[in-house]
Amino acid sequence: VSAGERPRAAVVVTGSELLSGTIPDRNGPWLSRELVDLGFEVAHVQVVGDRPDDLAAALRFAADAGCALVVTSGGLGPTADDLTADVVAAFAGRPMELDEAMRAHIDARLADWAARTGFGGEALDRATRKQAMVPRGALALPPAGTAPGLVVPREGGPLVVVLPGPPRELQAVWPAALDSAPVRELLTAVPPAHPRSLRFFGLPESEIAATLRDLGATRDLSGVEVTTCLRRSELEVDLRPGPSTGAVADELHVELAARHARHLVSDDGRSTDELVAEALLARGWTVATGESCTGGMLASRLVDRAGSSAYVAGGVVAYSNEAKTALLGVPAEMIAAHGAVSPQVARALADGARERLGADVGIGITGVAGPGGGTEAKPVGYVCFCLTTGDGRVLARDPRLPGSRADVRERSTDIAMNLLLRALRAGE
Ligand code: ATP
Ligand code: MG
């Protein structure tokens, strides 16, 4: 399904170190997300090495694809392999000129550093001069590092926004690029994205596909772009309407939420982690974890968010049987009778963590992460979860999870977060 009616944009990421697999590209995905959120249809993300011909070809490719905007990343530094500004200038048919104000600006930024390190003089002057070269008629954006970003118009399009490579710098310069007159003018022609997002837990993609087929039988859904993606065990469904299909998107949004209400995490894009944090805060509850196979991953996930000290009491990694008994009071006889991986022990871990850490909710996890250690009764991927509260509520699960050791441990953490959300919602 395609939205069709949106202006197109492209991203060109430069850097030979990205092509060799030395470092993963962080700018392409970040910029795509930004452009999609602004309402563009992203035509492609190209990654090219530090070779002028390849960069020029990538720019032409984007122009030929009818892109109104191209954003480049990297190659703005002072070394010889930093050639983006030159190539973009040639692409736009604009000669390079020294921007004296920018040179003074970069000089001032580097003065302290040069004095401190002694790396001044001729070498620094040349570097500064190179970085202050701006295509005629282009706009230079104040640098976050030493290289300024550029906004370079081209006769007949596309507009090219040139950003520095280091992700922190790229993200720091981006708002100024958006705020520049040429980009603002371009944005007036971009219909706002207004995406509708739904998140589901425990729902296979095939169910969404079936619902869409069903709804598509009685109405035209072609003007709404539907993307589904599995992230942290949640099925994320994004509905992106075109300029004239907002009502259809709304209808889809409501129908999908209603038909799969049992698995719905949120219908406004909020994540499980966000919702758990909010619900714990709203109740004034604290949570404690007793983890075996996840080895602290759940506790780590719970403290990911700033301000988590308000609702996380703590966690205990009780990996050996002895640790389960000594640290969380799991009776040795219980382990002997039922096994360390059992619903009984999961419950004892939850109770032990909650009581010993003085929390309102306790969560216990024990499972066979694999690849070894599975038995017929308790195969690899068998994981027992239990959540207990001070007021006597108990929520338990013992699924068999697919995948590698890493998959099982990660998915276990996702399931525990979802269990916590369920418990918090149940008592609302
Ligand atoms: P500098 O003045 O720092 O050289 P630059 O604009 O020339 O800025 P690059 O030389 O392309 O940037 O990249 C500098 C460093 O930034 C790279 O070595 C890499 O560590 C990081 N970097 C660049 N592009 C990316 C990217 N797409 N994803 C992740 N890291 C990147
Ligand atoms: Mg560089």
CA of residue 76 to ligand 1 center, whole Å = 9
Q: Is the CB of 74 under 6 A from ligand 1?
A: yes
Amino acid identity for residue 365 in this structure: I
Cα separation, 268 vs 254, whole angstroms: 11
Cα(37) to centroid(ligand 2), Å: 28
Give the pLDDT of residue 222: 87
Q: Contact at 8 Å (CB) between 31 and 73?
A: yes
- Cβ–Cβ under 8 Å, residues 160 and 105: no
Reply yes or no on whether the pLDDT at 232 is more than 60: yes
Residue 274 has pLDDT above 80, yes or no: yes
Q: Categorize the per-residue pLDDT at 78 as very low, low, confident or very high, splitting at 50, 70 and 90.
A: confident
Omega before residue 153 within 30° of 0, cis? no
Across residues 171-177, what is the average pLDDT? 96
Q: Determine the 3-state secondary structure of 55 from DSSP.
A: helix
290-319 confidence digits (pLDDT tens): 999 999 999 999 999 999 999 999 999 999
pLDDT value of residue 199: 96
* Closest ligand 1 atom to Cα of 78: 2
* pLDDT tens digits, one per residue of 374-408: 999 999 999 999 999 999 999 999 999 999 999 99
Q: How many CA atoms lie within 13 A of 247 on its CB side?
A: 3
- Is the pLDDT score of 2 beyond 80? no
| Residue type at 55 in one-letter notation | L
- CA–centroid distance, 145 to ligand 1, in Å, is 11
Nearest residue by C-alpha to atom 4 in ligand 1: 77
Contact between 140 and 150 (Cβ < 8 Å): yes
Q: Is 173 in the pocket of ligand 1 (CB under 6 A)?
A: no
> How many of the other CB atoms lie within 10 Å of CB of 127?
19
Distant-in-sequence, close-in-space partners of 66: CB < 8 Å, separation ≥ 6: 8, 43
Which residues are near ligand 2, the ion (C-beta closer than 5 Å)?
Answer: 77, 82
- Ligand 1 test: best mutation among 73, 84, 162, most atoms within 8 Å of CB? 73
Q: Residue 404 gets which letter from DSSP? A: -
Q: Is 147 in the pocket of ligand 1 (CB under 6 A)?
A: yes
Q: Which two tokens stand for residue 215?
A: 């709804």
Atom 21 of ligand 1: nearest residue by CA position: 166
Q: 3-class SS at 11?
A: strand
Cα dist from 296 to 80, 135, 274, whole Å: 47, 53, 19
User: Ligand 1 within 6 A of 32 CB?
Assistant: no
- Which amino acid appears at position 11 of this protein? V
- Judged by its nearest atom, the ligand closest to the C-alpha of residue 17 is 1
Question: Which pLDDT value is given to residue 178?
Answer: 97
How high does pLDDT run on average in the chain? 94
Mean of pLDDT values over 266-286:
95
Predicted confidence at residue 4, as pLDDT, reads 55
- Give me the pLDDT at residue 186, please: 95
Tell me which residue has its CA closest to atom 13 in ligand 1. Answer: 165
149 Cβ below 6 A of ligand 1: no
pLDDT of residue 146: 79
Q: Which letter does DSSP use for residue 219 in this model? A: S
* No. of helices (H) and no. of strands (E), the chain: 16, 17
pLDDT digits (tens, 9 = 90+) for 312-343: 999 999 999 999 999 999 999 999 999 999 99
Q: What are phi and psi of 160, to 5 degrees?
A: -115, 125
Average pLDDT over residues 61-87: 93
The answer to whether the CB of 72 is under 6 A from ligand 1 is no
Say if residues 322 and 296 touch (Cβ distance below 8 Å).
no
Which letter, b or e, does each residue of 407-416 get, where b requires 16 or more Cβ atoms within 10 Å of its Cβ?
Answer: ebbbbbbbbb
Determine if ligand 1 sits within 6 Å of the CB of residue 71.
no
**Which one of the ligands is nearest to 47 CA?**
1
Cis peptide before 371 (omega within 30 of 0): yes
Q: Does ligand 1 come within 6 angstroms of the Cβ of 166?
A: yes
Please count the CA atoms within 13 angstroms of the CA of 265 that sit on its side-chain side.
29
**Rounded CA gap, 160 and 135, in Å?**
11
Decide whether any atom of ligand 1 lies within 6 Å of the 77 Cβ: yes
Question: What is the structure's pLDDT at 239?
Answer: 93
What distance in angstroms lies between residue 277's CA and the mean position of ligand 1's atoms? 35
The atom of ligand 1 lying closest to the CA of 13 is 27
Ligand 1 centre to CA of 77 (Å) is 8
- pLDDT of residue 427 exceeding 70: no
The amino acid at residue 397 is R
Q: Is 136 within 8 Å of 97 (Cβ atoms)?
A: yes
* pTM of the predicted structure, to 2 decimals: 0.79
Residue (of 138, 136, 219) closest to 182 by Cα position: 138
- Residue with token string 């890493």: 406
Ligand 1: which atom is nearest the Cα of residue 74?
11
- Tell me the pLDDT band of 3, cut-offs 50, 70 and 90: very low
Angle among Cα 390, 393, 395 to the nearest 5 degrees reads 125
pLDDT of residue 1: 34
Looking at residue 145, its pLDDT comes to: 82
**Per-residue model confidence as pLDDT tens digits over 202-230:** 999 999 999 999 999 998 998 898 999 98
For range 236-265, the mean pLDDT: 92
Tell me the ligand closest to 27's alpha carbon: 1
Please state, for a pLDDT cut of 90, what percent of the chain lies above it: 82
Is 411:417 a contact under the CB 8 Å cutoff?
no
DSSP secondary structure, 57-99, as one string: HHHHHHHHTTEEEEEEES--SSSTT--HHHHHHHHHT--EEE-
Q: Which residue has the higher pLDDT, 240 or 29?
A: 29
